[in-house]
Amino acid sequence: MEITPPRATELVDVPSAMARPTLSDVARLAGVSGKTVSRVISGQHNVSVETRERVMAAATRLRFRPNHLARDLRRGGVTTTVGFVMGDLTNPFYSSVAAGIEREMARHGLTMVIASTDDDPGHEAQVVAAMLERRVRSLLIVPIAPDQSYLEGERQLGTPVVCIDRPAHNLAADSVLFANREGAAMAVRSLVERGHRKIGFIGSSPTLYTHLERLSGYRDALIDAGLRVSREWERSDAHDTESASRATHELLAGEDPPTAILAANNRASTGVLRALRDTVRRIAFIGFDDFDLADTLGITVVAHDPANMGTEAARLALTRERDLSGAPTQVVLPTHLVHRGSGELPPDQSAV
């Protein structure tokens, strides 16, 4: 008995992956030229109804999907994609910003590409390069590297650059920021009004713009109130929840501990709250950045709208496309104090 070898057609009939149909495949099946198919799929009107239907039928049958790469290339390399470069997608602050960008861009038929620098300054240029090579039509970035001058050329070459949450270094780019100083100052003033004289500040990094601004606001408000500014009450090394918690413990274990604490960001807040749970003293607390359970927990915060920050950034980018040479715009979004109880506690007498 002979062993029948598989027929060639059998092998051919089970392709692991057939090639995607192109416009020409559709054209052949519909019996028209490629150009006509092009017209149909890009919705031009000068095509007869019968032809249009025939083309549509052929396209559907072949499961044709126009190749956006080819289209963008032909149209001059300007894509319908915008890039967003941020530090850590896990941080709800950034993801809210991303959601705001995504929504606004989607309204304009644009798609968002995300890349994370993992909060590594050395990673920024690399991640940005990957986006530019994909010809994003604009670049929204939360700058982390100490210098963004390398983006000047891109701006000149027609790619709008918008900085989010922090201004760029050595680059005249549009930016969207929060009223950081004023927010921190409001928080301090509110605490002072409740009788606090010793207020701690827990922040992340002395090189970070938002940290510095908020710290300035904090100091200015203390000075304006005629109070003492003390380095002892300022911590700039709370990079994450863990270190913020530790910093809080240390602050409270000091000789002359504060009766109130201001946390410079959401991560720090989480850490401070964890630390405060272990203390019998009732420390007043205000956090910068609102968060999910803050209302439930009665946490007073300096609130703002991160999604709106994304929206505004998207708008700046879209506007900039139309006037590449104009002076950079800086949008400052308001912060406001949301009183929920934790920031309204009076100074704990046992701590004095």
Partner DNA sequence: CCCTTCAATGTCAACGTTGACTTACTCGGT
Partner DNA sequence: ACCGAGTAAGTCAACGTTGACATTGAAGGG
* From DNA, a second copy, none, interface partner of 120 (C-beta below 5 to 8 A by class): none
Q: Which residues have C-beta within 8 Å of that of residue 224, sequence separation ≥ 6?
A: 185, 189
Inter-helix orientation angle 23-30/49-62, to 10°? 120
Closest to DNA by CB, 22 vs 95, is 22
Closest to DNA by CB, 45 vs 277, is 45
Distances, alpha carbon 350 to alpha carbons 44, 221, 280, 283, in Å: 77, 25, 10, 11
Least distance in Å: CB of 241 to a second copy?
8
Interface residues with a second copy (CB under 8 A) are: 14, 16-20, 63, 65-70, 72-73, 77, 79, 81, 88-90, 92, 95-96, 98-99, 102-103, 106, 111-116, 118, 129-135, 153-154, 156-158, 270, 273-274, 277, 291-293, 295-297, 307, 323-325
Interface residues with DNA (CB under 7 A) are: 19-20, 22-24, 31-36, 38-39, 41-42, 45-48, 50-52, 64, 66-67, 70-71, 73-77
* From DNA, a second copy, none, interface partner of 35 (C-beta below 5 to 8 A by class): DNA
Least distance in Å: CB of 2 to a second copy?
28
Q: How far apart are CA 122 and CA 89, in angstroms?
A: 18
Closest to DNA by CB, 41 vs 114, is 41
Closest to DNA by CB, 59 vs 273, is 59
Least distance in Å: CB of 130 to DNA?
14
* From DNA, a second copy, none, interface partner of 254 (C-beta below 5 to 8 A by class): none
Distances, alpha carbon 67 to alpha carbons 21, 109, 277, in Å: 10, 16, 56
The token duo for 20 is 């995607």
Partners of 174 in beta bridges: 162
Least distance in Å: CB of 157 to a second copy?
5
Distances, alpha carbon 110 to alpha carbons 98, 105, 154, 268, in Å: 14, 5, 20, 35
Closest to a second copy by CB, 137 vs 181, is 137
Q: What is the dihedral of CA 163, 169, 173, 175, to 10 degrees?
A: 40
Partners of 86 in beta bridges: 116
Least distance in Å: CB of 69 to DNA?
7
Task: Provide φ and ψ at 83, rounded to 5°.
Answer: -105, 140
Nearest to 285 by CA among 197, 191, 214: 191
* From a second copy, DNA, none, interface partner of 32 (C-beta below 5 to 8 A by class): DNA
Least distance in Å: CB of 80 to a second copy?
8
